Every structure is written in structure tokens, then in C-alpha cells.
Amino acid sequence: MTRIMSVWVVGIVFLIGIAAADEVSELRKQMEQQYEQMQQMQNKLNELEAAQKQQSMTVAKLEETGGTSLPETLKWLEKIKLYGDFRYRYEMVDEDGSDNRNRNRIRARLGLTAKINDEIDTGFRLATSELWGDDEDSGDPVSTNQTLDDAFSKKSIWLDLAYFNWHPAGIQGFNVIGGKMENPFYRVGGNQLIFDSDLTPEGIAFQYTHGWTEQTSWFVNGGGFYVDEVKSGADTSLWGVQGGIKHTFQDKSYLVGGGSLYCFGNIQGHGAFVTVNGSDKFFGNSKSGGLYINDYDLTELFGEYGFNLADTPTAVFANYVKNTVAAGSENAGWLIGTKYGKCKDPGSWELSYDYRDLKADAVVGAFSDSDFIGGGTDGKGHRFSAVYQLAKNTQAGLTYFLNEKGHDDHDYNRLQLDLMFKF
């Protein structure tokens, strides 16, 4: 009996040992599975930490450069910049002898600049513009406005700029520009006594600025431009050169002074550049038999003084021009003006004023200010302007022309209210 009990005990212990071994084996498997899961979770955490670190580095780089990250295949986009603006204008014109005119006008411009290499840039810009006279192949060279009329008709878009700009690294401050370009000549206060601000001449120009001292520098601008190419006879052209000096004082005020020569070739005996409804337009310039009776070789003198008045940027400026090849008393013009304040941050503002007296043959009327006296020469009077910065890249403006036009000095008044948006 004792023997049998011993066998039973041994059997039971054996069975218990087998069961325990199975449980240990199962427990080991579970522990190994849990270890693998923990290892996978650790790998995931490591990957997340690496990704977060890379993201932080990318964000820091973007904050530092102010740009966006592009793949290598799109890196060329970093060399291209788009810009543009839109302006909505209400305008009222009150001229003696004519009915008052009220109209709404728009201006839209879209431009692109591209860096070709370290020394060459190129640029293009499209802009709205009305027809240049009766020529349906050209846009107005001194205006980018489109009037809202003609039964919701589509509005014309023209090539406003197309140029290259070469700035060799070996000659600091030197640029060569070719094509259809912004006006390369300096205009004190941005005035439009000789050239309208929308004029984009066509040809080859250069600009060079060199510092004499830390406070004083001098500049030279020049170029040759094509005004009118004809099949037979001499082409009409413009050759110009300008020089000036700028000195900055210890209090950050500055003084600019200089002069220019502009020689228009072969205008005398040329017909009108513009014909509207079958009538030639000379924009105030003297004519005979439908032809210009003068050439235009212009001598210009200019000066500008900028300073702070009550901690507000202020400038006063003056411009004088004379057509040295036109006889008589109708060959000169002058302008004086001032600016006070500068639009920059929301809530900032800018005021400006000028008075000018522009005789009939002082400048080429077709290229002068298109708003003063309705465009051209043979007039005098005031221009008042105020601009307010409503928000970032958003401005509201008011301009009023109080002018006298023609030899009879009849009144010409013009009011412009603008909303302007830039990007």
C-alpha cells in the first residue's frame, strides 16, 4: 500500500512539473512578445523624435530666411519674384468750356523679375492701358488707366516692361539696362514736369553711383532710346545724360543737386505721334501744317533737400527745364514742391504739393504728365495730394489739380480719389 501511494505521489509530482513547465514556457513566450512590442514602440518613438527634430530645424531655417522650403527640382522658383498692384479711381474733371466729366477707372499691373545669374536679372510687366490714339496696336505710353465704360467691354492688357539688367560684380554701383524699362533718370520728389511717371522708355541705358566719402556720392545716368522708327527718312530718337551729387549730413538730412541734357532727334517736321478721332494731337506743342515746328533739346537743373520736421520725413524740391532750340518765350518750364510724412505702417500718412508753369514748347507734351491740365504743356497751376495707409499694402489717396490751361488761361480742375492695393 505504501508503495502504491509513493507511485501516486511521484506521478502527481511529475504531472505538476509538466504543467508548471508548460506555464513557464507560455509565460516566457508572452514576455518575449511584450519585449518585441516594447522594442517596436521604442523604435517608433525614436523615429518621431527624429522627425520632430528635423521639423524644428526646418522651421528655424524658414524663420531665419523668411522663405519656404522647396525640393531641389523646384529650386529655380527661388530666383523668380512676382509683384503687382491694383488701383480703383473715381475722377471728376471740370474744365471751362466743356461739360464736367465723372468717371471710374482701374489700373492693374502684374510683374515678374528673375535672377539669371549673379550679374544679370531680367524683368517683365503687364499693365492695363487705353489705346494710343487711333492706333489699335499700341497702348498709351503715359497712362495705365482703363475707364469703366463701353458696355462691359473687355479691357486691354499691354506689355509695360521687358528688360535685362546687367550689374557686373567688378564695377560696384554700375548697371546696364536694355529693353523696355522704368525711367532710368532721377526725378526730384518723383515730379512729372518732363516725363510722366508711367512712361517706360525703350532702348539701352546705364546708371552709375560712386561714393566719394561716407557722406557724399555722385551719380551718372544716360541712355539712347527709340521714339519712332520709320521705313524711309530719319528715325525719331532720344539721347539723354544726367549727373548729380548727393550729400548726407550728420543729422541724416540730405541734399541732392544736378542737371540733365535730353536731345530728341528729328521731331521738327514730324507729324503728330497721336491721332484721336481723325484729329492730330500735339499736347500743347507748337505745330504748323500738321507738323512739329521745333526740335526739342532740353537742359534740366534740379535740387532736393530732405530733412526731419517734428520727427516727420520732409522734402522740398525744385526743377527747371528749357528747350534750347525753340525760340521765343514758350521754351521753358519750372516746378517747386514739397512732401511731408511717409506712408509705411497702418495709420501713417503722406502729404505732397507742387506748383508748375510749363510753357508750350518747354518739353515734348506727349510724354509729360498726363493728369496735369489733362496732359501735355501750355499750362500752370497747383497739385495737392494726400495718401493714408489703411492697412498693410493698402492705401487711400486724394489728388486735386487746380490749373490754368492754354493761352487764355481757362480753368482746369481735376479731382482723383484712389484705393490702392499692392502685393
Question: For residues 127 and 83, what is the distance between their CA atoms, to the nearest angstrom?
Answer: 12
Closest residue by Cα to residue 87 from 103, 104, 102: 104
Question: For residues 146 and 163, what is the distance between their CA atoms, to the nearest angstrom?
Answer: 24
Q: What confidence tier does 231 reach under pLDDT thresholds 50, 70, 90?
A: confident
What is the average per-residue pLDDT within 24-42?
A: 64
Question: For residues 259 and 294, what is the distance between their CA atoms, to the nearest angstrom?
Answer: 22
**pLDDT tens digits for 101-135?**
999 999 999 999 999 999 999 999 999 998 877 66
Rounded to the nearest integer, the mean pLDDT of the chain is 89
Pull the grid cell for residue 71: 525640393
What is the average per-residue pLDDT within 58-64?
A: 56
* Neighbour-count burial of 356, counting CB atoms closer than 10 A to its CB (0-12 exposed, 13-18 middle, 19+ buried): buried
**pLDDT tens digits for 138-193?**
889 999 999 999 999 999 999 999 999 999 999 999 999 999 999 999 999 999 99
What are the residues facing 303 on neighbouring strands? 257, 318
Sign of CA dihedral 158, 89, 316, 362: positive
Q: What confidence tier does 18 reach under pLDDT thresholds 50, 70, 90?
A: very low
What is the distance of C-alpha 244 from the center of its chain? 24
How many CB atoms sit inside 10 A of residue 206's CB? 16
pLDDT at site 136:
63
Percent above pLDDT 70 for the chain: 83
Pull the grid cell for residue 186: 532721377
Name the phi and psi angles at 214, rounded to 5. -65, -25
What does the DSSP assignment read for 255-269? Answer: EEEEEEEEEEES-TT
Global pTM value = 0.83
Q: What confidence tier does 230 reach under pLDDT thresholds 50, 70, 90?
A: confident
Closest residue by Cα to residue 254 from 317, 341, 348: 317
pLDDT at site 138:
83
How many CB atoms sit inside 10 A of residue 280's CB? 14
Strands 296-309 and 291-292 turn out to be unpaired
Residue where the block lists cell 497721336: 274
Cβ contacts of 295 within 8 Å, gap of 6 or more: 264, 265, 266, 267, 268, 325, 326
Residue 53 has pLDDT above 80, yes or no: no
Question: For residues 139 and 145, what is the distance between their CA atoms, to the nearest angstrom?
Answer: 10
Question: For residues 288 and 389, what is the distance between their CA atoms, to the nearest angstrom?
Answer: 48
What does the DSSP assignment read for 172-235? Answer: TTEEEEEEE-S--S--GGG--SSS-TT---EEEEEEEEEESSSSEEEEEEEEEEEEE--SSSPP
Buried b (16+ CB within 10 A) or exposed e, 213-246: eeeebebebbbebebeeeeeeeebbbebbbbbeb
Question: For residues 380 and 372, what is the distance between their CA atoms, to the nearest angstrom?
Answer: 9
Closest residue by Cα to residue 383 from 407, 341, 351, 410: 351
Q: Please check whether residue 288 is in contact with residue 271, taking contact to mean a CB–CB distance below 8 angstroms.
A: no
pLDDT at site 15:
42
**pLDDT tens digits for 269-326?**
999 998 887 789 999 999 999 999 999 999 999 999 999 999 999 999 999 999 999 9
Question: For residues 363 and 332, what is the distance between their CA atoms, to the nearest angstrom?
Answer: 8
What is the rounded (10 degree) CA torsion for 403, 305, 334, 89? -30
Question: For residues 239 and 242, what is the distance between their CA atoms, to the nearest angstrom?
Answer: 11
Question: For residues 338 and 203, what is the distance between their CA atoms, to the nearest angstrom?
Answer: 32
